[in-house]
Chains A and B, each alone.
Chain A
């Protein structure tokens, strides 16, 4: 049997050799950048070493038996099959170890649950398959979509450094401040995780959950959705930028201003070209994952837009379905997810791209009116 084992190991080693050259051997949890994540890390290491110690003792006895008490060595078996003292002992000792382990775990947990006295409150809403961040006190919100190009995922292009872990609009938080997250979801259950913060919490439709973090080191931190939420579960990363407070304040001011600009954009006179350009971008982030970049869709769940009767003729129906969605299907209501400008741009794009050359255009004002007036 030894021979086989050796062969297997040799085979495995041979196969793995090329891999080790370019290896990235991150084997352990990161201690992270918050006090919570540091405490979790130390709990993790403590319990790990306790397990290793128990393992050494138990497997030590076992391997000793395996080597020394073999029939092939002529070892004669003993005949004992009970020993109350030993049995009581190995019930009590593990119990004591567990109690010792439970104490620091309890302290950490209590600290993690202390969401009081927060400086910034951010509402996080999970959608299939993007996150929405709402700065409650500052009255602005935005969506955060994965920005990794389809070509990288489909292996048509070299993969970037932050493959699958990059977004168009990261969450921005100030360092050194207690940030409280309020989580909910729009459709199915999602889970918001940033390993470096030691923060993971489920976002549940109809319910609100809270958690918090205080990041001391500025930087960009990446995580992912960790609750299976459908087709693109693997493609909804979380990116958080922790910045110094001044920078944060500047950013917040910019965001508020941008929201205002958005409102003004709605009033501007748009040309078909401008809308097409903007529409292409908006389509890529909001629509292409289902309807595909070339508009051919993935029938039957995601119908083609290219050459579709709706995109060519039924303008009212087209606006209606994009804004309000189609109940009972995968088509979501984008009315609250995209700005008026983006809605107009997307609809215009869909009516003019891929040979759908209707020449028709929908202005942000029309969308604005559609949403408000009826």
Chain B
């Protein structure tokens, strides 16, 4: 630490310089605190440590299906605080061969008397499986608006990677549906370009 000061005559050095260095350290560390947010996200994406599954998977080559191995994929659905929609997977679980393209549906129904917007947030367990779970289509990519009393079946299309570590035999994919009511108007217009799951 601070080797340059080991000289015998350290007194009367410039305080301005020390302050300058310290302040740049302070500013740097403040920025670093904020940089931790994207850094953590990137880190999670690479390692999957928080179980948050990634965005749309654009596979260049279709994977060979590994018929010798079966992985059970389990689906869970939860509602966030104050979210009154009925929300559940249509099937509780499916057995898949790694490499296979699988399509399942989640059911959501808005039982209230007003139009609302929901946003599903995914989480996968065990988290080390995250990077081997590829979604080519997911309702969680978009917000989901529903009119009062409207219901919808929302698709999820995924591939379990052939490189999934051997010891993982079961993956649990959980969605939590959050009320995004406030943004109803905005997202409804945004929805029109992106959605593929509008059957309501």
Contact = CB atoms under 8 A, between A and B. Distances in A.
Q: Do chains A and B touch in the complex (CB under 8 A)?
A: yes
25 contacts: A115-B170, A117-B169, A118-B170, A121-B172, A182-B172, A184-B76, A184-B78, A186-B78, A186-B81, A206-B123, A208-B51, A208-B76, A208-B124, A208-B172, A208-B174, A209-B51, A210-B125, A210-B126, A324-B82, A324-B112, A325-B81, A327-B179, A327-B181, A333-B83, A374-B111
A123 B181 CA distance: 27
A137 interface: yes
B63 to A, nearest CB: 23
Nearest to B148: A374
Nearest to A113: B126
A115 B171 CA distance: 10
Interface in B70-113: 74, 76, 78-84, 92, 111-113
B176 interface: yes
A136 B76 contact: yes
A371 interface: yes
- Grouping DSSP codes into helix (H, G, I), strand (E, B) and loop, the B interface class, with mixed when no group exceeds half, is loop
A325 B81 CA distance: 9
B167 A336 contact: no
A115 B176 CA distance: 22
A207 B127 CA distance: 10
B25 interface: no
B19 to A, nearest CB: 37
Interface string A175-186: 000000010101
Task: For chain B, give the interface size range.
Answer: 20 to 34
A208 B123 contact: yes
Interface of B: 50-52, 74, 76, 78-84, 92, 111-113, 121, 123-126, 148-149, 167-170, 172, 174, 176, 178-179, 181
Nearest to A132: B78
Interface in A153-211: 182, 184, 186-187, 205-210
Contact of B50 (A115, A118, A207, A210): A207
A335 B178 CA distance: 15
A208 B125 contact: yes
Nearest to B109: A372
Given A207-B123, A208-B124, 12 more contacts: A116-B167, A123-B76, A137-B92, A184-B76, A205-B81, A206-B80, A206-B121, A208-B51, A324-B112, A333-B81, A333-B84, A371-B111
Nearest to B174: A208
